[in-house]
Structure 1
Amino acid sequence: MTIRPATAADLAEVAAIYAHYVATSVITFDEVAPEAAFWEERLRELDGRGLPFLVADVEGEVAGYAYASQWRPKPAYRHSVEDSIYLAPGRTGRGLGRALLGELLPRCAKAGVRQVVAVIADTGEQGSAALHRSFGFEPAGRLKGVGFKLGRWVDTELMQLDLTG
């Protein structure tokens, strides 16, 4: 496995991974998978801000990806990001998420990020929260019933990591 910056050539696989979760889970609140143009713009935007967009490359295939995007759109939030990590179906439980987050965080710090926020849909599974805890993220709150998808109301757990300490 190699963790490397995403390129335009990776975006079809990135889009397919995300589309899987849009269609089959509540870990994203999107209900329609975005078009390829969205991913092209996302890559350009993050590049332009100096923020990381990484892929886990396993034998030439994108097995997962992670990126950090500005937490909120208002200018005062420019030093805070939200991390996003998605793994290809069948690639979970192999350390890919740990490798991606382990590479994403120092790149965020290098980009001048001070705070990283994780917004984790409460699916009843603790994998994502446990991963974030293992890197020092702390609970920052819970938003109850803020998403409705696949016939159920879903809470989100907020976790936060201070990169300045």
Structure 2
Amino acid sequence: MLEEEYQKRRALPRHLQKQPEPERPFSYEIRPARIGDLPDIREIYNYYVRNSVVTFDEKAWTHKKWREKFDHLQKLGLPFLVAVAPTGQVLGYALVSPWAGKSAFRYTVENSIYLGQAATGKGLGRALLEALIEACEEIGLRQLVAVVSDKGAEGSIALHEKLGFVEVGRMGRVGYKFDRWLGTVYLQKQLNPKKKTGILKRIFGADD
């Protein structure tokens, strides 16, 4: 008897074989970040620091640095969102920071979005960016800026453009990481603020 035929005969009937568990649907909740999320956020970001040129940071961020960032954004009242799996693990995050330190820039912020490796390619980046845009409009912000690496971030550029960002400029060879020169792409989106709020006064000490 041929080996192939022998294996067929000795195999259990299909209804008695152990069937693989069906793949669980990808699900998440988007909510404001909490202090307890910072270890996961740190790991997500540091992966890109160590392995990519989508961030120009060359040194991994410590928990202390992320806590300072979290406290600063909380004080300013700026959006800092996370997408969380049913298990509580952070799958990705999105935040905005002041565009510049001068008070005339108080209506403009810069966004930052990063996904864990297991959460890429599932539409989570778009969901986070949409939620971030809405959160910015809710507090009266008017311009959202993205500064993206011109190497290795084509997906990020495409995502921003799909959600209404327009490329407004480029700078070439302004960064150097992993023995290569890198440039930046600037994209901008005009927001539709829902209301005026005193939050912008708290950021720069200027009237809204």
Q: Same fold (TM over 0.5)?
A: yes
Q: Quote how far apart the aligned CAs of 1:145 are.
A: 0.7
C-alpha separation between the residues in 2 aligned to 1:104 and 1:98?
10
Partner Cα distance (1:55, 1:49) in 2: 18
Question: What is the root-mean-square deviation of aligned Cα atoms in Å?
Answer: 1.2
| Aligned equivalent of 1:49 | 76
Where does residue 25 of structure 1 map in the other structure?
A: 52
Residue 37 of structure 2 corresponds to 10
Q: Greater CA radius of gyration, 1 or 2?
A: 2
Partner residue in 2 for 1:147: 175
* Aligned counterparts of 1:53 and 1:118: Cα–Cα separation in 2: 15
Shift of residue 38, structure 1, vs aligned partner: 1.4
1:164: Cα distance to partner?
A: 3.7
Give the counterpart of 1:71 among 71, 95, 99.
99
Letter in 1 for 2:83: A
Q: What's the CA shift string for 1:4-62, capped at 9, x where partnerless?
A: 00000000000000110000011111100121111111111112212100001012110
Q: Any idea what SS the aligned residue of 2:151 has?
A: coil
Q: For 2:173, give the aligned amino acid.
A: G
Offset at 1:137? 0.3
Give the stretch that moved more between structures: 135-144 or 123-132.
Answer: 123-132
Encode CA deviations 1:84-123: one digit per residue, 9 max, x unaligned. Answer: 0000123211111011001000111112211000001012
Alignment of 1:162 with 2:190, yes or no, is: yes
Aligned residue pair count: 165
Q: Which amino acid aligns with 1:80?
A: T
Quick one: which amino acid aligns to residue 187 of structure 2? M
- Greater than 6 Å deviation, 4+ residue runs: none
Aligned to 1:130, what secondary structure does the other structure show? Answer: helix
Matched-pair identity in %: 48
Letter matched to residue 86 of structure 1 = Y
Equivalent-residue separation in structure 2 for 1:124 and 1:70 (angstroms)? 25
Shift of 1:124: 4.4
Tell me if the contact between 2:52 and 2:152 (Cα under 8 Å) persists in the aligned partners.
no
The residue aligned with 1:107 is 135
Which structure's residues are more often strand, by fraction? 1
Q: Mind listing any 5+ residue stretches in structure 2 that lack a counterpart?
A: 1-27, 194-208
8 Å contact from structure 2 (residues 54, 153) kept in 1? no
- TM-score, normalised to structure 1, is 0.96
Where 2:141 maps in the other structure, the secondary structure is: coil
For the Cα contact (< 8 Å) 2:108–2:141, is it kept in 1? Answer: yes
Kindly state the Cα deviation for residue 125 of structure 1 after the two structures are TM-superposed: 4.6
> Residues 100 and 130 of structure 1: is their aligned pair in 2 closer, same or farther, counting only changes over 3 Å?
same
1:62-103 Cα shifts (integer Å, max 9, x gaps): 000000110112222121100000001232111110110010
Q: State the AA in 2 paired with 1:14.
A: I
Contact 2:49-2:57 within 8 A present in 1 as well: yes
